[in-house]
Each structure stands twice: as structure tokens, then as C-alpha cells.
Amino acid sequence: MPVCVLSQSSQIPAHLTRTSISAIRTGPDWTHACVKGRVVHKDALVPLDDDDFILKAVIQDVDSSPNTTCPEISIKMLLMGSLAKDFSTTVHLGDMVVASGFSVSKSSTVKEKQHPCTLLLSGQGACVYVCSSEVNSVVTRKRSPKAVEVRHLQPEVTSVVTRKKASWTTQAPGEAKEAKYVYSRLDDLEVGTRVNVYGVVVFFKQPFKSSGTDYCSSLKITDQSNQRIGCNIFLSKLEEHPKIFQVGDIIRMHRVKVCRFNDSVSLINTFGFSAVTFDGSKGEPVEPRTSCQTIHFDEEDQRMVEQLRAWSFNQALLPTAPSVTLSTVQPSAYFDLSCQLLAKAPLDSSCTLLRVWDGTKCPHPLLKVLVDPEMTEGPSSFSPEQENLIANVLVYDNHVEVAEQLKPGDFLRIYNVRAVLGSSKVPGLAGTQTLEQDHLAFHLHRGTAYGRGIRVLPQTSPTVQELKSVIEAFMQNEDDHAMMEVWGTPPESVDTDPVSTDSITETNCRHSIDPLTLSEVKRSNPGQVHHVKVQVKSYQPQKLHQSLKLFCDKCSTMQDVPDEDHVLGLLSAASQDRGPCSAPVWALSGQVQLPVGPAGPSDLSLYFSPQLMFDGKNKQLVFLKGANLAQVKTLSASYLNIVPVRSSGGQLALLDLSAPVLFRGRRRYYGCKKCSNPAVREPSVEGVDVVSEKLVAEALGVELLRYVLLLRLELQDSSGSLDVLLWRDAELFFNVSAADAASSQKVQDHICQTMGSLCPPEGSTVWRPWLDMCLVSYEAQNDEGINQTVYQICHTKLSKATPEPDPVTSP
């Protein structure tokens, strides 16, 4: 992507959030972040091979002042491809730049005062903005000792240079040619070069721990040239490894190096490596599988995938036989089992038991394994009928570590598992059990030969969809609802009505990321955005009026809305105070007579702004003394703003801030005790058309509290459950305003009905709607001061729900 020269830094796209260099760390998604800094070091452009380049530069934080003791922190940037080339020609030492679309990795070498991470700018999303107007100020005001040479940008370089796509092929500077990645055929790989390739996977191993520092994915690919090329991918992060689920998947790899080993050519990942995989079946939608937030994918990629699919279909590269299930498994066979994990238990240090099912019934009796319920994750026992459906898989040695990460509910593929008939000796405690003859056990042997391994399948994978429908159909036939309830298999269609899994929510965020399961979300680092498809298992508070809170934007504290009795009491107490009280010098005072009721006296003191009186707007604001709550409510029909007041030491004063500081129609406004300096003061209303709550609050020195909705939802999917907050975007979610919820029964009913439909009360637990959600995770301290990962629902809106309009919400 481009290097853009901007005349003002305000031209940087608004969706980018500025981050300081010191805040950079590995883990979070930095897609929508940018950092600003001065270029204090710039290496020469290094050509990697034909059309690829790399360039190293260092930028220094612009906010760190040379006058403070705080050292000026700098960070290394690595620019790849055409961006490196553009940067090399356009950007000079001393330039102020803003970098975006980067990823962050740990630096191997760290210099003093240099950030331990490196910004990687590669691919379509990466961009560098050069702030040309700030060059002068750099030169004159703030010359860093490190900035050995500071040059002005050429004055004529003020236009914005943009290119649409990541460039791979060499271009003449300024030539706005549509650039693209060039892919090498597998029979045209020159040892020592760096290439991009497409291929059909003919063999693969799940990533396994190498003896070095990384996980290794080992695979073999082929293409129309019929060459078969081995590839080894070394990456420290499991999630960055190519997501290969089965032979026949299509993989695209960028920046792999061609090596020779034992007289055959092989590929290995190099710096800037990225991989995207696709289902290899003809006709399936072409959906890229990647953990990368920003990938380059265009019509040409679509075509490449479709061509490879067609070719591999004719070559019969995809497994054609239907996959083996528990109902079709032959004793002694090695096979790949797609299944759902129900429970697991470690048997000894080198063997873990996975209890799985796939919704089919095995014709052979299945081995039963006795395990300590204390050691079992998930249900420790099932009914005899259920037991007949559950396969016990013993996974050994290196697979134990993978098994530890699995959660009951996960959908799995277990590769090269073996069905073992006969008397199986079971390790650990279970070894003492009576051996069952001619029962079928399943073993996942140690090592990674034959691609042995376990993989969690995402909810969106066709295999999981198929598995779910098989399980569902099985449940309907067996009428075994207990089974379903135990492990929360999403019961998409159990009632008589065929219920679709269509989501009843919309997300309006612009993240294009694959949905994850909740267990995948839980395994991710905080500071990320996730998409999930979930049901609401439960929610708090059950008494929904308690979800309404008051929030101070100034001090970020939240409090409950004072209840009606409390407000009643405070006003009633204030109305009893009949002591002498002089009106403020600025105020005009008056009296009003209300019909005598059981609740109190009829004579109330009113104080007005003379300016409003003069403007004929005396109904817009009144300070009201001696009124109880009922009387305030009555007068609310006549006065736009009512400020209840009392006498304090002969002077007019506001009530305690736990009472509403202002009544405006049905709405009540409260002030923050911490941030307010309350007093009865004359509001400046000159030239004001309508007296707003803000104007009144400002005059009174009151920091108004904002109504917010706060709910805690327990979400569930087949992989487990997760507690999340609905707060920041709660109003968007329900399509209501929290302030309306505070004053309108209709809006409150709407929220209650909505929650009731998302999470039906007891007796109708079978059907719950599915919701697409966008979650953000972040770290926050709990009450004990311990850091915890918090999840919040954001950018998510219920599709249809809108409360009926309430005719008298506001005056």
C-alpha cells in the first residue's frame, strides 16, 4: 500500500486511532491504529529478489520531550514490498510520519531506549503518511541528537501519492499501474528465490512443537504442473499457522523461500510470510481462512482457487469416499474422526482420554473407561444409552498437550486415529478396571507421522455444519433430549417448527473477521475484536430495572439510579422545611396553590429567572421549594424544567445530589457528587430559545450523570460459555435510549420482552435464537485490583426490535 504525503496531519483517515509508541505491544489487533513519529533512522532499500524489497527504519515518539527525564522512545519499522520502495524514495530522515496497518512482533535485538517490538508494514493494509507541513517545525524547534541529517521535503511533493493494491511487480515511480502478486508454478521454482505460490494440499500435519522455538506445520502441495512440493512453516504462534483441515484444501502462501533438500525442492516460510487456505471442493463458496485481519484477496485469487478446485477435482485429489464415522468404522482402521468433545480426563502423564461422539451409532460395543470424576472435565457420567454413543479416544504423549487446550463442546477432527478391537489395556487408574473383551477403543498414537494430530474445527466449517445436522437428526430420532441438554449442542431444530440459525442481530462494525467459537475467544489474548455466533444462556440482572445505571463521563464512575422511595423521602423531607428563606437577589419569587392532598401542604414557593420572565418564557424554568414528589410531578405538566430547592441557613440551596437535580417532564436528571459544585445560581438565558438540561446544570455547577444500561450476559455456543458485558453499545443493541428507558414504561417493557425472547424463561429452554455478535476484549482490574479479561458486546444491533413509540416520553 501507499506512502501518502499529506499537507496536514488532520488528513489522516478518521477511523485510525492514534497510539503512542510506548503503548505498542504484541497481542492486540492494530488494524485500526496508527503511530506517529519522526524518522530518525532509515536503512538503504534491500532488494530481496526480483520485485520484492525490505527496508528498515526507526521512528521516534513525537510526544517525548527532550526536556524531560523521560527517554525518547523509538521503534523499529520493517517495511515490505512496494511500500519499502516508496518509503525509500519519498521519506527522508527527520520527516514526521504516521504508520498504519501494521502488525507488531517482538524484536530479536533491542537497543537502549528502543521499543522491544517491531512494527511490520506489509501487504494491502499497510500505509505510511508523511506529514509534509510538520517538517519545518522539526527542523527549527526540535532537533533530536539522533537525527543526524534533516532534510526538507521537496516543496512540490505535496500531492497525495496513492496506489490501490499492494505492489509486487516493479513499477516506475508514480506509475499508477494495478499491481498484483505474482505466483510461481510449482515446476518453476528456482532454488534460493523467494516466491508466492498456490497449491492443493496433498499431505499435511497439524502444527507441532519443533525442537527449536516454533511450531512447525509440515505439508505437501501440488498444482497443475503435477509437481509435489514439501513445505515447512515455522511460526511461534499457533493461530498464525495455515488452517488446513483436510487433504484437498487449497493454500496460498506469500513469501516462501525455495530450498533444496535431498535432491528435492522444498519451501520454507520467510520474513513477511502469510498463508490463506480455502476449502478445496468445487462449488463451495470461496472463503479465505486466515487469522490475519487484513489480507489481499481479489477476483484473480477467486479465479486461482476455482481453477485449482476444478483441476484437483479431475485429478481426484480430494478424498472422495465419505468420511468414516463411528457407525462405519472398521476395526483396526486408521481414519480421521470428526466429532464433538463431550468430556475429557487425564489418565496419566502421557495419556488423556477424550470422550467424543459424532451423532452416529457404532455397531461394535464401545470400550468403557473408568475415570475419577474429580479429574473429568465435562460430565463425568452419562446414561447407559448415552454411553453407547460415546467413543473413548486415548491420546498419547505429544497429543496430551493439545488435548489440554480442548474444551467440552469443541468440534474436533482427530487425524489418523486408530480403531482398536479387543482387550485394551488402559493406562493409569483405569488400568485396574476389568478388561472388556471385543470392545472398540480408539488410539491416537504418539508422534505426527501420517498427520496424526487434533484440530478444533471452527463453527463455520462445513464439517461442523454437517456434524451438527447429523447430531440434531439423531436427537430427533432418539428423542433423547437429555443428551442435548447435558452438553448444550446447539439445538437448532428440535421444536416442531423448523428453526433457522439465521441471526437475529446485525453487526455494524467494519471488521471482516471469521467468527470464532467462544472457547477460541477465551484462548485469545485480550485487546482484540472477535465475531461470534451465540445464544444467550442467562443474563443479569434478572430484574431489568436494575440494569439502568447512572454514569459520570467525567470521573467514569457508575451508580445505581436512586429508587422511588429514596427520592420520595428526600423531597418529602425538603418540603417539611418551612424555615424563613430569602430569595436570591436575582430571582423573582412567587407562590402557587395546589389542591390540598393527603401528601402535603398546598403553598409552594417558586423562583424564576427575570430574563425568562421578560422573554415571556417563565414556564421554561422554575426553582421549586416546599414540594413533595407528587407535587413536582403535577407541576411538571406546566413547567419545562423544575429544580427542587430547599432552604439552608436562610438561603436557597439545592437538595442532596442523590435526589434529582432537575425534573424535565418525565425525565429526572441527577448530578455527580464527586464532580459537582452545586449551588443555586442564575442561569444565563439571554438569547436562549429553549432552556436545556445542560444549561441548567451548568448554571448550578452540576456535572450531569448519563443514564446507561448495563447487563451481564452469559453467552453460549457448542464450545462453551462466556460472560460478557452489554454496556457501551447497549442502546444500539436494544435500539432505545437509556434515558428513555428511565422514563418510559414502553421502553422498559421492550427491553424485558427482548431479553425474554433471547433467553426464554424455564420451560421453553429448547429454542433460543442465534445472535451474530462483535465482542471486544480488554484488560480491566476487578474489585480486588487483579487484572481480568473483560468482554463487551459492541456494534451489535437486534434486527427488528424497536419499541412502540411512547407518546409522552418528553414534554
Partner DNA sequence: GGTTAGGCTTTG
Chain residues that interact with DNA, rule: CB under 7 A: 54, 78, 105, 108-109, 118, 202-203, 205, 210-214, 216, 218, 220, 230, 232, 234, 259, 261-262, 266, 268, 270-271, 334, 350-351, 396-397, 416, 418, 420, 425, 443, 445-452
Q: Which is nearer to DNA, 230 or 527 (CB)?
A: 230
The answer to whether 396 and 328 are in contact (CB under 8 A) is no
Q: Which is nearer to DNA, 351 or 629 (CB)?
A: 351
Contacts of residue 519, defined as CB under 8 A and 6 or more positions apart, other chains included, come to 407, 409, 410, 456, 719, 720
Q: Which is nearer to DNA, 55 or 147 (CB)?
A: 55
Considering the complex, what minimum distance in angstroms separates the CB of residue 476 from DNA? Answer: 35
**Backbone region of residue 283 per phi and psi (left: phi > 0; alpha: psi in -120 to 50; beta: other values):** left
398's grid cell = 505429544
Considering the complex, what minimum distance in angstroms separates the CB of residue 496 from DNA? Answer: 45
Residue 32 to residue 294: CA distance in whole angstroms:
11
Closest residue by Cα to residue 714 from 531, 518, 500: 518
Considering the complex, what minimum distance in angstroms separates the CB of residue 444 from DNA? Answer: 7
Q: Which is nearer to DNA, 72 or 336 (CB)?
A: 336
| Backbone φ, ψ for residue 137 (5° rounding) | -65, -30
Considering the complex, what minimum distance in angstroms separates the CB of residue 262 from DNA? Answer: 6
Looking at 115-164, list the stretches that DSSP marks H as alpha helix, in order from N- to C-terminal side.
Answer: 135-141
- Is 607 exposed, middle or buried, given 0-12, 13-18 or 19+ CB atoms closer than 10 A? buried
Considering the complex, what minimum distance in angstroms separates the CB of residue 421 from DNA? Answer: 10
| H/E segment holding residue 200 | strand 194-204
Considering the complex, what minimum distance in angstroms separates the CB of residue 208 from DNA? Answer: 8
Residue 330 to residue 440: CA distance in whole angstroms:
10
Q: Which is nearer to DNA, 214 or 693 (CB)?
A: 214
Regarding beta strands 529-540 and 711-717, do their DSSP bridges make them parallel or antiparallel, or are they unpaired? antiparallel
Considering the complex, what minimum distance in angstroms separates the CB of residue 210 from DNA? Answer: 4
Considering the complex, what minimum distance in angstroms separates the CB of residue 315 from DNA? Answer: 15
Considering the complex, what minimum distance in angstroms separates the CB of residue 108 from DNA? Answer: 3
Considering the complex, what minimum distance in angstroms separates the CB of residue 115 from DNA? Answer: 13
Contacts of residue 278, defined as CB under 8 A and 6 or more positions apart, other chains included, come to 249, 250, 251, 252, 286, 287, 288, 289, 305
Euclidean distance between the first and final Cα of the chain, in Å?
Answer: 54
Q: Which is nearer to DNA, 205 or 468 (CB)?
A: 205
The answer to whether 250 and 308 are in contact (CB under 8 A) is yes
The answer to whether 520 and 243 are in contact (CB under 8 A) is no
Residue 662 to residue 668: CA distance in whole angstroms:
6
Amino acid at 378: G
Q: Which is nearer to DNA, 259 or 429 (CB)?
A: 259
Amino acid at 302: Q
Residue pointed to by grid coordinates 423521602: 569
Closest residue by Cα to residue 13 from 73, 113, 101, 83: 101
The answer to whether 343 and 393 are in contact (CB under 8 A) is no
Considering the complex, what minimum distance in angstroms separates the CB of residue 394 from DNA? Answer: 7
Task: Give the CA dihedral 546, 547, 550, 551, nearest 10 degrees.
Answer: 150
Q: Which is nearer to DNA, 417 or 738 (CB)?
A: 417
348's grid cell = 496419566
Q: Which is nearer to DNA, 105 or 737 (CB)?
A: 105
HEC letters along 310-330? HHHHHCCCCCCCCCCCCCCCC
Residue pointed to by grid coordinates 461442523: 464
Q: Which is nearer to DNA, 108 or 477 (CB)?
A: 108
Closest residue by Cα to residue 734 from 714, 762, 710, 717: 710
Q: Which is nearer to DNA, 56 or 746 (CB)?
A: 56
Considering the complex, what minimum distance in angstroms separates the CB of residue 246 from DNA? Answer: 14
Q: Which is nearer to DNA, 213 or 434 (CB)?
A: 213
Considering the complex, what minimum distance in angstroms separates the CB of residue 399 from DNA? Answer: 8
Residue 649 to residue 610: CA distance in whole angstroms:
24
Q: Which is nearer to DNA, 431 or 462 (CB)?
A: 431
The answer to whether 340 and 373 are in contact (CB under 8 A) is no
